[in-house]
Amino acid sequence: MWRSPTLRTFITNSGILVVGFVTSVMLSRWLGPTGRGEVAASMLWPILLVYLSSLGLMPSVLYFSAQANSQTGQIFSTAIVLAAIQSSVALIAGYLAMPWLLASQSSAVITAARVYLFVIPISLMTQFGISILQGRVKITTFNLLRTIIPTGYICGAILLQAFGALTLRHIIVFHLALNLFALILMFVGLRRAGIGIIGKPTAACAKQMLKFGVRVYVGDLSQGMNLRLDQILMAAFLPPFQLGIYVAAVSAAGISQVLSTSIRMVATPAIARESSEVHRAAKLKLVFRRYLLLGLTTTAFMSLTMPLAIPLVFGPHFKQAIWVAEILLVGAVIAGAKDVLAGGTQAMGTPWLSSRAELGALIVTVGMLLLLLPTLGILGAAITSVAAYATQLVIIVSGLHRVHSIATTSLFRIETADIKSIIRDFRPRHSNFILTTPIGVPVDPGDV
């Protein structure tokens, strides 16, 4: 029974990924590097503040609403009260700090970012409602709601371009309206799913959700900073042209991570269901080696096509993104290996291994960005990403060896049986590779 929702979620996530990439390409071609960088800078901090202020409440709402006898009305109403408090603090702090956070940007970009701060309360409430749908396994409604913003964004961008109104201000206003529309449909979805959302918020419920959320928040925050710190510093110290080039390179290289994030989404519960630690370790090793084979192959192919693909897809003004994307591809395959193993650590009951890896990588990210960004610019940011991902991978691999006695050689030694198993999966009689190899695509909600 779990396979059908997994397949539907994979299809949805793949569609969201494709739509997001096409939107990024269109905005890059229509706005150019400078305009694309201004849009990214305007949306960067408001979206980050959604997750910085959430305190891990999204996975917390998901966890407690998934319980058999959960009181979804009390959970939702308590989450809304917390969202009001969180967003109030984030709005004030973001408004005051935006000129400093976007020091190298124009006044128009700073104003647009301040306006877009209103996405924080809207997004928090929407995410809490969607988390309840996910917790109650209303997967169809859950997936449909997640498609609203990406599909609406691409449609809106096309309409604005057609009417000659594709400006920074119009994009920000449209995106706010789109998020408000998603919030309304979230309430409709909860009602149609028969999920109660009316209840009395309580301090005990808030304390319980915050206690759980903070435990997740530490690792998620470190991961988020590792992913976004480069763009944060670029928005503060580099001109929008450079940020626009970097965003295009990230979009191009990021396609290669679909495989690893897809495998992790379904491999984690599959490994956790194994009856013993020995069997869980064996499955993790098998999944990881298969990822390495497929990941290295697809990354090598992308590396060869990147010099032609980037100018063709994004436009000739983005040629500077080629070398940045090539470096980021190296980081992507390392990050993919880290993601698969991080999912394995959670499935084996030791999630702190991946959180510690994120913290270690954050130290590397901060130090190297401060050193390389002023001297090498966006190339320095790309090199930093590779070093940070490599740090994460080393920490997780050593942790698996120390805690679970998984030898490093058993993870990286590709065997003939691994190649044969992949070939078997692609034969017609096993054509649905999604069901035999864990696949799914988590999409970054902060993609701008």
- Cβ atoms of residues 404 and 348 within 8 Å: yes
Per residue in 349-369, pLDDT (tens digit) is 776 787 788 888 888 988 999
Task: Read off the tokens for 292.
Answer: 């390495």
pLDDT for 141: 84
DSSP 3-state of 377: coil
Q: Which of 150, 166, 147 is nearest to 158 (CA)?
A: 166
Q: Cα 193–195–200 angle (5° rounding)?
A: 160
Q: Give first-to-last CA distance, the chain, whole Å.
A: 35
Residue 207, burial from CB neighbour count under 10 angstroms (0-12, 13-18, 19+): exposed
Higher pLDDT residue, 71 or 324? 324
Average pLDDT, rounded, for the chain: 82
Report the alpha-carbon distance of residue 212 to residue 234 in Å, rounded.
Answer: 33
**Per-residue pLDDT tens over the stretch 205-227:** 888 888 877 776 766 676 667 67
Measured CA to CA, the distance from residue 367 to residue 379 in angstroms comes to 15
Q: How do residues 272-286 score in pLDDT, each as one tens digit?
A: 767 788 888 888 888
Q: What is the pTM of this model?
A: 0.70
Share of the chain above pLDDT 70, in %: 86
Task: Give Cβ neighbours of residue 410 (< 8 Å, ≥ 6 apart).
Answer: 285
Report the distance separating Cα 347 and Cα 430, nearest Å.
26
State the number of CA atoms in the 13 A half-sphere of 67 facing the CB: 12
CA atoms of 444 and 448, how far apart (whole Å): 9
The whole-number average pLDDT for the span 27-46 is 90
Q: Kindly state the average pLDDT of the residues 185-190.
A: 90
Which one is predicted more confidently, 157 or 343?
A: 157
What's the mean pLDDT in 74-92?
90
pLDDT digits (tens, 9 = 90+) for 293-319: 888 888 999 999 999 999 988 888 888
What pLDDT, on a 0 to 100 scale, did the predictor assign at position 343?
A: 80
